[in-house]
Structure formats: structure tokens, C-alpha cells
Amino acid sequence: MDSDQLEQRARVAATVVREAGALALDYFRRRGDLRIDSKGLQDMVSQADRECEDLIFARLSEAFPADSFLGEEGGLRGTGSAMWVVDPIDGTANFVRGIPHWCVSIGLIEDGRALCGVLYDPVADELFAGVAGGGATLNGAPIGVTGETDLRKARVGIGFSYRTPVAPHPGDIHALLDAGCEYLRLGSGALGLAYTAAGRLDGYFERHINLWDVAGGLIIVAEAGGRLSDFMTPDVVAEGNEILVATPGIYDQLRGLFDA
């Protein structure tokens, strides 16, 4: 994909993510009327998730009919090498409980590489964006990771999914606290990556996360100067993977803690 094609996709994605965010925010404000279904242990989906994904698919498939599309709710559609990967509401558990920490995530992947990503938090009206070779921004202003090198001054986001065994999770928290590092568990992996890119966190770790949760944030972290684990393995679409992103000065220290 050449630079003009990529820039065009990035512009359209930014417009679409705002439109989907406005729809999701409307549902958030009247969430008492939402139909909510269970997909598994502590895993929910709402009418808002489905309708936001349908909107995003309609807009992107109209603009780029040759591209494929992977949505959390609707699965894979199309066979194009450039693939849009969408989480219509990352942080649904927060969303349905009225906790204002969730976002709409859109990422573009081609040949195993994240090329562009947009994450929109409509409650805060914050649009995080990144394009390969073009930097990372928050509402149009450049952002970057913290540059922290001392774990005793760091704060790391951490996630958990019941798709993985419970036992390692408290061990990970114990390891962070033993190292003098603070942690947060906020319930949105996408925003965990965005906050790392913007310097609000020094890193984010989750032992298993799906591609749609992080596809929008991968390039944002990379373009903000962060270091990322090898997430884009050949089976990541079907299987997900572990994710670690951090400001470079503490990445190896965190890797050592979580691998111990």
C-alpha cells in the first residue's frame, strides 16, 4: 500500500470512528434500555456493540470495497490483504455499568503489520491516532511515551481475561509491587495502549488479548516511541496473543518480571 492510499484510509477511519463513537455515546447515555447478552464468563455484548460495528463495516466497505474486515462481533468478512480490525466498544463491561472508560477502536493490518489505527473515547472526546511513519497524535497534537527508566517511579496498566488461568495474574501484580511499580486495571486494553502512547501510563501488559482489542493501538504506541512485544504472530487472528508495550527504558525490566 502506498503512502497516499494509507493516508486516505487514515482520514476515513478518523471520520468513521467519530461517527461510531457518537452512536455509542448515545447508547451509553440511555444504557438502561440496552439489550445485553453474555458471551462467556465476565464477557458481555450489547446492542450498542453490534450496531456500532455494523456502522463501521458499512462505512469502510463502501469506501474501500477491496479491503477485508474483522470485527469482534461479526467475525471475518472479505479476503483483501488489507484488513480493518474493529472493536466497536472496547470496555463493554465498563460501558454497561456506566463507567466512562471505554472506546471505539479501528486498526488497519496488512501482511502482518499494523499500518494505521484510531481509538476514540467519546466521553472525553479524545481521538488517538497513528500512521506508520507519520507519528502518533491525540486530537491532532503529537504524543510520545514517558521515557521513564525507573520501575519505582512507573505505573503500568494490567489486564486480565478468564480465557487464561487465574493464578499468574496475582503473581504479575505481586511482581510489580515487589519491584516498587504501581499498577492499574481499568478494563480497556485499547485505552491501555493509548495511555501508554500518551505518557499517562509507562506500559501495559495482558497475558492474553484478542487482535481486535489492540489492532488500533499497536501503531499508535509504536509511532509514539514505545516498544512492543511480538504480537503479530501468524495465528493471532484466530488465537490472540500476549501483549506487552512500554516506554523503552523499562521494557526489559517488565519483561523480566512477567517471565520470572
| Every domain of the chain and the residues it spans | 3-142, 151-259
CA dist., res. 257 & res. 181, Å (int): 11
111 carries a ligand binding annotation:
no
Over range 14-18, report the average pLDDT.
98
Q: Pick 151-259's CATH classification: 3.40.50.1100, 3.30.460.20, 3.40.190.80, 3.30.380.10.
A: 3.40.190.80
Over range 45-66, report the average pLDDT.
92
CA dist., res. 33 & res. 35, Å (int): 7
CA dist., res. 7 & res. 118, Å (int): 13
- 180 by Cβ neighbours in 10 Å (0-12 / 13-18 / 19+) ranks as exposed
Q: Would the pLDDT of 20 be above 70?
A: yes
3-142 adopts what CATH topology? Answer: Fructose-1,6-Bisphosphatase; Chain A, domain 1 (3.30.540)
37 carries a ligand binding annotation:
no
Q: Would the pLDDT of 28 be above 90?
A: yes
The whole-number pLDDT of residue 36 equals 64
pTM above 0.85, yes or no: yes
The whole-number pLDDT of residue 75 equals 84
Q: Would the pLDDT of 33 be above 90?
A: no
Each residue of 106-165: pLDDT tens digit?
999 999 999 999 999 999 999 999 999 999 999 999 999 999 999 999 999 999 988 889
173 carries a ligand binding annotation:
no
The mean of the pLDDT values for the chain is 93
89 carries a ligand binding annotation:
yes
2 carries a ligand binding annotation:
no
Strands 203-209 and 82-90 turn out to be unpaired
